[in-house]
Amino acid sequence: MTTPANLIFIQSDNHNRQVAGCYGHAIVRTPTLDKIATRGVRFANSYCLSPLCCPARAAMATGRYPHQTGYWDNAIAYDARIPSWMHRLREQGHTVVAIGKLHYRSSDDDNGFTQEILPMHLHEGKGAVKNLLRGYDTEPRLTDDSKWKLYTQRSGVGATHYQDYDRQITAKAIEWLRGNTARHTKPWALKIGYISPHPPFTVPQRLYDLYPEDKMPLPLRCRPGDRPEHAATRHLRDIDGYHEMTDERMLRRVAAAYFGLITHLDEQIGAVMKVVEELGLLANTRIVYTSDHGELFGWHGLFGKKCLYEGAVGVPVHGPGRTNVQHGEFFHALRMVERKAVRDAAGTLIESYPRTLYASMGALVAARFHFDRGDLKNAKAQLEWVIERSPSGDFKDLARLRLAAVLLDEKAYVQALKLLDSQHAAAYDAQYAALKGDILVANQQPAEARAAYRLALEKSAQKEAAFYESVRMRLEALGD
């Protein structure tokens, strides 16, 4: 049974999942988010339930889809009509506190919290009612360029009350942690809501200087002719008043400012996490980080969200989980990396960060890439690199296990297995047997491969359905 623990739920606004170091971004600096990700589980394919603020936040509060609740637009925010997870926890006697942005209807509603500190909700409890008035084809275009200017003119060096608000939220979160955590006898929940990296992308000079404009990548498929001209996105581009994105300097400035704002967010979370560690809370507190939706910042010729492109609906999600990663789960998770980018990404990681956990992961990804293509020599070299240079004992043990399997060295495999969690021995044995079968097939030894695959099926005992089915199909391919 899972042991009850405290919860710190950190939520940002407009964070594109791909723009974080722990998701493989080569430029943006997010050391705190990266650290949170390494402590638990990082979801590679996580999506919001709506690329709009209010419905996305209502879905997170209720655990239901927008079409089930009726909270489907920014004009219709969460109003406590449907119970939230906060209500459920509070009903069981837990303290549930919110600090910062919630974007519900109002604090006058019982949203489920024991206390709301510095909350941000809809202004006067009213949403963007005019957004309910939709048409098609002849729907008027936004003519004041307000949304276009929000990105193209206000992205850069400066200060806004949004970032002041972030700093106030951080201060209040630290104050609450220092003053309240020791006196609670039951696990508590703290929801911290930041407004960054919501536009305008305005940041201090020191953060902007981290991202030189001339080094910034251009948005994906932003130019006319480089993108599919679907009628729906063309319509969205028209009604929001977006112009064609041909000014490369402007687009690089938007990217630099957006990256700087994400680093600002990371710093705020880092200040909170420093206190969490000082108070000794990590041992009994689960940390979750996510965002309400993404941000396109020029991708596909669009700013903002309001569509189903990956950058708009993909959100980062880091949750609690085991830090002693299991062999089969680890290599399954590594498949999240795009196959065509694995070699370059892994090589860059190894060259740039030779003593980090991330470099170890890059080498393990590269090893899997080489193995899948029958290149055992290079797979072996990558695994040996991890064994020799990784700062992580867990990664070293995983690499030893994998290397023993690649070399079909059963003695070394058994020794490496003893260093890992023994209760998962059957799962490791199944992985080893399947890997052995793959190598025997590559060596044109079908009879021996069939025996290895049968052993893998026996060891898995159908507990892992996807793995079992994969091995069964490989066995069938050999005529068994």
Model confidence, pTM: 0.69
Respond yes or no on whether the N-terminal peptide bond of residue 197 is cis (omega within 30° of 0).
Answer: yes
Cα dihedral across residues 134, 139, 141, 144: positive or negative: negative
d(CA 408, CA 159): 60
d(CA 328, CA 428): 7
Tokens coding 224? 């006319």
| Nearest alpha carbon to residue 302 among 103, 51, 11 | 51
Each residue's pLDDT, cut to its tens digit, for the chain (480 residues) gives 457 899 999 999 999 999 998 888 889 999 999 889 878 888 888 999 999 999 999 999 999 999 999 998 888 899 999 999 999 999 999 999 999 999 999 999 999 999 999 999 998 888 776 666 655 556 677 788 999 999 999 999 999 999 999 999 999 999 999 999 888 889 999 999 999 999 999 999 999 999 999 999 998 888 888 887 888 888 888 888 899 999 999 999 999 999 999 999 999 999 999 999 999 998 899 999 999 999 999 999 999 999 999 999 999 998 886 443 333 333 433 433 333 333 444 444 344 334 455 567 677 777 766 665 667 787 788 888 888 877 667 677 778 877 877 777 666 666 665 555 554 556 667 777 777 777 677 667 788 888 888 888 887 755 556 667 767 777 777 776
Going from N- to C-terminal start, the domains of the chain cover 6-319, 327-477
Under the phi-then-psi rule, with left for phi > 0, alpha for psi from -120 to 50, and beta for the rest, what region is 196? beta
| pLDDT on residue 437 | 78
Q: Residue 102: CB partners within 8 Å, gap ≥ 6?
A: 57, 111, 116, 119, 120, 121, 191, 193
| pLDDT on residue 463 | 54
Cα dihedral across residues 356, 362, 365, 370: positive or negative: negative
Query: What is the torsion angle, in degrees rounded to the nearest 10, for the CA atoms of residue 344, residue 350, residue 351 and residue 356?
Result: 140
- Domain 327-477, architecture per CATH: Alpha Horseshoe (1.25)
d(CA 317, CA 17): 8
Phi, psi of 199 (to 5 degrees): -65, 155
Residue 121 near residue 105, CB atoms below 8 Å: yes
| pLDDT on residue 100 | 98
d(CA 309, CA 18): 12
d(CA 396, CA 402): 10
Q: Residue 1, SS3?
A: coil
Residue 427 near residue 328, CB atoms below 8 Å: yes
Q: Residue 84, SS3?
A: coil
Residue 403 near residue 387, CB atoms below 8 Å: yes
The β-bridge partners of 47 are: 314
Q: Which fold, 6-319? A: Alkaline Phosphatase, subunit A (3.40.720)
d(CA 138, CA 402): 61
Residues making up the chain, counted from first to last: 480
Q: Residue 258: CB partners within 8 Å, gap ≥ 6?
A: 19, 155, 197, 201, 295, 297
What would you report as the CA-atom Rg of the chain, rounded to the nearest whole angstrom?
A: 25
Query: What is the torsion angle, in degrees rounded to the nearest 10, for the CA atoms of residue 340, residue 341, residue 344 and residue 346?
Result: -120
Q: Scan for tokens 């189903």, then name that residue.
A: 308
d(CA 478, CA 480): 6
